[in-house]
Amino acid sequence: MDFAEYFPIWNKLTPEEQKILSDSAVPRQVKKGTLLHGGAEDCQGLFLVASGQLRAYIVSEEGREITIYRLFERDLCLLSASCVLQNIQFEVTIEAEKDSSLFVVPARTYKALQEQSAAVANYTSQLMAGRFSEVMWLLEQIMWKSFDRRLAEFLLNETLLEGSSSLKITHEAIGNHLGTAREVVTRMLRYFQSEQMVKLSRGVVEVTDSARLRKLCGE
C-alpha cells in the first residue's frame, strides 16, 4: 500500500510534510470484528482506510449501540485520535465491519502537522464539520422519523452497499446500527415479511420488494 495514494489532500502538502506523514504512517491489516478504538481515553492515532469498511458507534450506559457513521476507502477517522482536538472528548468506538487495510498515523505527528500546515488544518476543520453534520442528520432521523421508515432506508442502503438484495445480517446487528432493541427490529421485520417486502431466514434478510420499501421511505 502506498500512503500517498490514499491521503485525500496529499498534493496540497509540501515535500517535507509528505515525508513526515509517509514515514510515520504504519500499515495495518485487521479482520472483521476487530475493535480498533475504545473511547475518549484511547488516542492511538488517526485511521486512514485503504480498503474495507469501519464502523463508528456510541454506546449508552445500558449497553445499547447506535452507528453514527461508517468509513470507507480513503476516509480518514479523526476520532480515533481525539487528543488532537483540544478540549473535545468523543466517546466513540470504532470497529472493522469487514476485513480492512488501513494506515495508522500517530496522533502527535498529525497534531504537529496540523499546527504548521494550513492545508492540513483546513482539511481537519472540513472533516470535523462533515462528521458533525452526519451526527446532526442522525439525530433528526431518530427524533422525527418513524422506525419503519428508518428500517426501510437502512435495508435499501445495505443492498446498495453490499451489491445484493440478500443481506447476511442479524436482527441484533440491525438494532445496533439503528439504536434500538433487537425485539423491536424483529417485530418490524416480521411485519415487512407479512407484507412481502422482505424474506427472513436465519442470519439473512432478503429484500424482495425494494419498490415498496422506497415508497415507505417516501421516495
What does each of the 219 residues of the chain score in pLDDT, given as a tens digit?
789 999 999 999 999 999 999 999 999 999 999 998 876 556 778 899 999 999 999 888 888 889 989 999 999 887 776 666 655 555 788 999 999 999 999 988 998 998 899 999 999 889 888 888 888 888 888 888 899 999 999 999 999 999 999 999 999 999 999 989 999 999 999 999 999 999 999 999 999 999 999 998 876
> Would you state the cell numbers that stand for residue 72, as one nine-digit string?
470507507
CB 117 within 8 A of CB 42: no
Tell me the residue ranges of DSSP E strands in 24-107. Answer: 26-30, 35-38, 46-51, 54-59, 65-71, 76-77, 93-96, 100-105
3 state DSSP class of 199: strand
Residue 86 is predicted with a pLDDT of 57
pLDDT in tens, 158-192: 999 999 999 999 999 999 999 899 999 999 999 99
Which pTM does this prediction carry? Answer: 0.81
Burial of 133 (0-12, 13-18, 19+ CB in 10 A): exposed
Phi-psi domain of 134 (left: phi exceeds 0; alpha: psi -120 through 50; beta: other): alpha
